[in-house]
């Protein structure tokens, strides 16, 4: 149990509600990676979790205040639906996510027009609504753990109204370099950095993202706010126990049938531009093209599930993913062998099963805050599988000494690394897998939470960024 009361706030919550037959509220577990990682931790310390109401039933739940369900103390926050959508789609996902992952196609995007400005205002309002709820409801001296880029500005109002609170912000995504930040209008960049810097400290999964954030603050605000680095780890015992359940065991049999006596490359991802699915397929094709001995002898099982389909970019990306897989299959399939098996059905037990059975796990994001799959794979895998990992993933910091490195943009280079992984000698594979498992399980999720609680607990209220800036002299952008 933490000493001070703890409040967690995030865009997505651990519980979502629906209306039962009698019109009453029915609680069920919410989805999303953040929730499955944080959920058990938040329950363990008895924290209250506040998140945006996504459905009509969530809005009805918001009127009930803190609800105890599924082991959580949960507070659903009613936010104007139109504003929420603008903030989530246009700013959080189409702007900040793209900015920090380096995804903008700069000749066309972003288009920071009047509509975008309205969306920025909506983003500010949504952040303000969260801040106001915390201001109204957080007990004196409470620790507030603010999660992710959807809520970068919350600290602004907390620092003005509740200096007693010990609020830290944690980004589960990367942070861009100063050069990339210059895409944003100066006032917006400044508002964003002041918002984050108004928390007692800002946490990241990798020192690289913290350093980028510090460099941006130094350039735009003229000082470097406090940061900390705390990589998250999956709940190994939970996922191992999950892998032993009937549905996962059934799916393991399915994976084994599909695999037969061939080698198996696996990936498990959201259909997400930053995950670099297309270059992964092209690299696999390069392997087939340049190494005839692998034709018919290897299968690429891509378990990828739809995400953020409210955004045209994501819909288009999904179509491209499907069509590239089809082009490659049409070109190389033979009777009895389909090189790529693309499954977009969001089959969780199958994903777990595939992680237990892979020979090679491909994790090649163009940039990734951490990438939990890179850590889950080695711990679940029972085949001495090899991890092929992008050096641009936050998890590279921990797994890089052992994982096979890829530059995610280098397709033929990735093909070469896949070939190296597929031909690794059994003894070397065993050592590789054992060392990876050790590295991947060096930390448990509780370490991440304890790091955050320690930083928050050691802080003495919130900084006054306005004062810090003026005493440093060269503020302004």
| Binding residues vs ligand G6P (CB under 6 A) | 12, 32-34, 148, 172-173, 307-308
Work out how close the CB of 332 gets to ligand G6P at its nearest, in angstroms, rounded to a whole number.
33
C-alpha span between 119 and 93 (Å, rounded): 12
| Cα-based distances in Å from 83 to 80, 90, 118, 172, 189 | 5, 10, 9, 23, 20
Work out how close the CB of 392 gets to ligand G6P at its nearest, in angstroms, rounded to a whole number.
15
Work out how close the CB of 87 gets to ligand G6P at its nearest, in angstroms, rounded to a whole number.
12
Work out how close the CB of 31 gets to ligand G6P at its nearest, in angstroms, rounded to a whole number.
8
Q: Which is nearer to ligand G6P, 94 or 341 (CB)?
A: 94
Q: Which is nearer to ligand G6P, 42 or 328 (CB)?
A: 42
Structural tokens at position 396: 């590279």
Q: Which is nearer to ligand G6P, 87 or 462 (CB)?
A: 87
Return the residue matching tokens 């941006």.
216
**C-beta of residue 299 within 8 angstroms of C-beta of residue 264:** yes
Tell me how far apart the terminal alpha carbons of the chain are, to the nearest angstrom: 43
C-alpha span between 366 and 317 (Å, rounded): 15
Q: Which is nearer to ligand G6P, 12 or 169 (CB)?
A: 12
Work out how close the CB of 307 gets to ligand G6P at its nearest, in angstroms, rounded to a whole number.
6
Q: Which is nearer to ligand G6P, 321 or 465 (CB)?
A: 321
Q: Which is nearer to ligand G6P, 134 or 173 (CB)?
A: 173
Residue 368 sits at the vertex; the CA angle it makes with 394 and 217, to the nearest 5 degrees, is 80
Q: Which is nearer to ligand G6P, 203 or 463 (CB)?
A: 203
The residue whose Cβ lies closest to ligand G6P is: 172
Taking the alpha carbons of 61, 66, 68, 74 in that order, is the dihedral positive or negative? positive
C-alpha span between 475 and 473 (Å, rounded): 6
Q: Which is nearer to ligand G6P, 148 or 191 (CB)?
A: 148
**C-beta of residue 28 within 8 angstroms of C-beta of residue 37:** no
Work out how close the CB of 172 gets to ligand G6P at its nearest, in angstroms, rounded to a whole number.
3
| Cα-based distances in Å from 274 to 64, 109, 175, 435 | 38, 16, 13, 27
Work out how close the CB of 398 gets to ligand G6P at its nearest, in angstroms, rounded to a whole number.
18
Backbone angles phi, psi at 10, to 5 degrees: -155, 165
Work out how close the CB of 214 gets to ligand G6P at its nearest, in angstroms, rounded to a whole number.
20
**C-beta of residue 198 within 8 angstroms of C-beta of residue 191:** no
**C-beta of residue 360 within 8 angstroms of C-beta of residue 333:** no
């Amino acid at each position: 149990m933490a000493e001070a009361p703890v409040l967690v706030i995030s865009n997505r919550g651990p519980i979502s509600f629906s209306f039962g037959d009698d019109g009453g509220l029915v609680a069920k577990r919410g989805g999303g990676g953040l929730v499955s990682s944080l959920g058990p931790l938040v329950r363990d310390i008895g924290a209250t979790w506040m998140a945006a109401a996504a459905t009509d039933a969530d809005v009805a739940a918001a009127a009930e205040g803190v609800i105890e369900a599924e082991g959580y103390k949960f507070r659903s926050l009613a936010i104007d639906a139109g504003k929420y959508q603008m903030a989530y789609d246009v700013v959080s996902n189409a702007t900040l996510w793209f900015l920090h992952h380096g995804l903008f196609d700069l000749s066309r995007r972003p288009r920071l027009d009047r509509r975008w400005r309205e969306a920025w205002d909506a983003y500010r309002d949504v952040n303000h609504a969260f801040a106001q709820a915390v201001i109204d409801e957080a007990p004196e001296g409470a620790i507030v753990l603010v999660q992710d880029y959807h809520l970068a500005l919350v600290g602004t109002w907390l620092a003005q109204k509740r200096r007693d609170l010990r609020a830290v912000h944690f980004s589960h995504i990367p942070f861009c370099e100063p050069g990339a930040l210059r895409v944003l209008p100066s006032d917006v960049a400044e508002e964003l950095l002041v918002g984050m810097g108004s928390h007692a400290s800002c946490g990241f999964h990798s020192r690289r993202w913290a350093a980028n954030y510090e460099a941006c603050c130094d350039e735009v605000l003229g000082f470097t706010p406090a940061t900390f680095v705390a990589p998250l780890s999956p709940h190994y015992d939970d996922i191992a126990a999950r892998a032993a359940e009937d549905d996962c065991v059934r799916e393991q049999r399915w994976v084994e049938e599909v695999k037969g006596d061939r080698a198996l490359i696996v990936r498990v991802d959201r259909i997400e531009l930053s995950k670099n699915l297309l270059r992964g397929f092209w690299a696999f094709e390069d392997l087939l093209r340049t190494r005839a001995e692998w034709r018919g002898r290897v299968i690429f099982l891509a378990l990828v599930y739809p995400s953020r389909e409210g955004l045209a970019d994501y819909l288009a990306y999904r179509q491209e993913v499907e069509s590239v897989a089809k082009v490659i299959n049409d070109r190389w399939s033979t009777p009895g062998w389909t090189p790529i098996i693309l499954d977009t059905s969001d089959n969780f037990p199958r994903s777990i099963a595939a992680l237990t059975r892979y020979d090679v796990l491909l994790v090649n994001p163009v940039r990734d805050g951490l990438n939990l799959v890179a850590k889950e794979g080695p711990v679940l895998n029972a085949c001495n599988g090899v991890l092929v990992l992008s050096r641009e993933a936050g998890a590279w910091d921990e797994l890089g000494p052992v994982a096979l490195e890829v530059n995610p943009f280098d397709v033929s280079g990735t093909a070469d690394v896949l070939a190296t992984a597929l031909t690794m000698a059994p003894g070397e594979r065993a050592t590789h897998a054992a060392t990876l498992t050790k590295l991947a399980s060096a930390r448990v999720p509780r370490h991440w939470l304890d790091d955050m609680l320690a930083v928050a607990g050691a802080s003495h209220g919130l900084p006054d960024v306005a004062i810090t800036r003026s005493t440093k002299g060269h503020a302004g952008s």
